[in-house]
Amino acid sequence: MKKIILLIIGILIFTLSCNSKKEGNSKTSTAIKSVQESTDSGFQVFDFNKLKSILLKNPDKIVLLNFWATWCGGCREEIPDLIQFYDEYKGKVVLIGLSLDESTDDIKNFIKLAKINFPVYIADKKLVQHFMIQTIPVTFIFKNGKFINMHIGPYFYADLKRDIDNLQKKRQNEQ
């Protein structure tokens, strides 16, 4: 019940977050509709099979799925913090960027410009629909292979570090 309430609250906040920006309204729905099942751009599509594989391969790690796009202001704001976080937690936490962009060239250029150091994939349309992505950025957090929380809006370093450190402490206490 608690997870359902958190999900509903999250969706409401999430809807207001990036959708309140004029640039995000039409582009979010267009991007979701245009996400392809496969791509010849060199980017892999991140689908349910890939999610399952990542969770199975990393049973002792916290996995973060960050949905974003190059045209989203909040997404662009959080990228330096995600880069810093990944530098510090690499090997301890899995961070995956899932882009909703229509143009793979835009993604490639942005990755190069921002010097993104974590893996980036194209978000599968069915995965986007399953997670009910209405606005971005949003980060889904998995622990022990199970969804445990989500963060709506830009996930800045201090908050991300606090949340992940708390989850890691809980795991140590459980052992």
Return d(Cα 104, Cα 161) in angstroms, integer. 30
- Spell out the domain ranges in the chain: 2-174
Tell me the pLDDT tens digit for each residue of 52-84: 999 999 998 999 999 999 999 999 999 999 999
Digit-coded pLDDT (tens) for 89-130 = 999 999 999 999 989 999 999 999 999 999 999 999 999 999
pLDDT greater than 80 at residue 168: yes
> Domain 2-174: which topology?
Glutaredoxin (3.40.30)
Q: For residue 161, is pLDDT > 80?
A: yes
Which pTM value belongs to this model? 0.77
Residue 157: pLDDT over 60: yes
Q: What is the pLDDT of residue 43?
A: 80
Query: SS3 string of the chain?
Result: CHHHHHHHHHHHHHHHHCCCCHHHHHHHHHHHHHCCCCCCCCCCEECHHHHHHHHHHCCCCEEEEEEECCCCHHHHHHHHHHHHHHHHHECCEEEEEEECCCCHHHHHHHHHHHCCCCCEEEECHHHHHHCCCCCCCEEEEEECCEEEEEEECCCCHHHHHHHHHHHHHHHHHHC
